[in-house]
Amino acid sequence: MTTATLTFQPTQAPADDPFGGLAFLGMYTVAEYHELIRTGTLTPDDPIELLEGHLVVKMPRSPAHDFAIMVLTSRFVRLAPDGYVVRSQCAATYQDSEPEPDLAIVRGEEKVYRTKHPGPADTALLVEVSASSLTRDRVGKARIYARAGVPVYWVVNVDDKVIEVYTRPSGPGDAPAFAARDEYPVGTSVPVVLDGVTVGTVAVADVMA
């Protein structure tokens, strides 16, 4: 592979675009995406993530979005037992995607991730905080995470002040999806479940600005 082969080829999003109506910048494998990063074609300042082979522009962040991430990070760090690591806005590597979920609780020690991103087998819980990205997170990213077998996926809907919890992923298939969805409005608390064990709860009101 050479950098000459990694030119951007803009295409239009398909009619059933799961990623919020953005035009795609191109299609790449995970290995090609890593090469774009290694060669400096993509830099840490580029708001790009790889979703189902597409280079997709990440949505801008509102104060309410960042507030939710701040609160959840502090709660998760306190709740996560030994053997789990909390990661904030870091990449995860799946078969055809390298999303950057807003929060993740992954298995293992910190040093495990010195030379790799967590994959499906490492992931216990993922969180996406959603405002302008709500459709993308409910549809496109939910499909990616269900295909990967992520056991617990939270969508923090800051506009409606509800935390949606998706469980029972289908795994690979023609139409990957989560079989269960529970909603927690302000006034309730969300159980933090890691590998079938509830390690604590987070009050929805604390998360919403």
Q: Is the pLDDT of residue 45 over 90?
A: no
SS3 73: helix
pLDDT tier at 14, thresholds 50, 70, 90: very low
DSSP-derived secondary structure letter, 187: T
Burial 79-89 (b: 16+ CB within 10 A, else e): bbeeebbbbbe
Cβ neighbors of 2 (< 8 A, separation 6 or more) are: none
What pLDDT is recorded for position 6?
A: 41
What pairs with residue 180 in β-bridges? 167
Nearest to 122 by CA among 112, 111, 132: 112
Domains, in order of start, for the chain: 3-57 (no CATH), 63-207 (3.90.1570.10)
**pTM check: above 0.75:** yes
Share of the chain above pLDDT 70, in %: 88
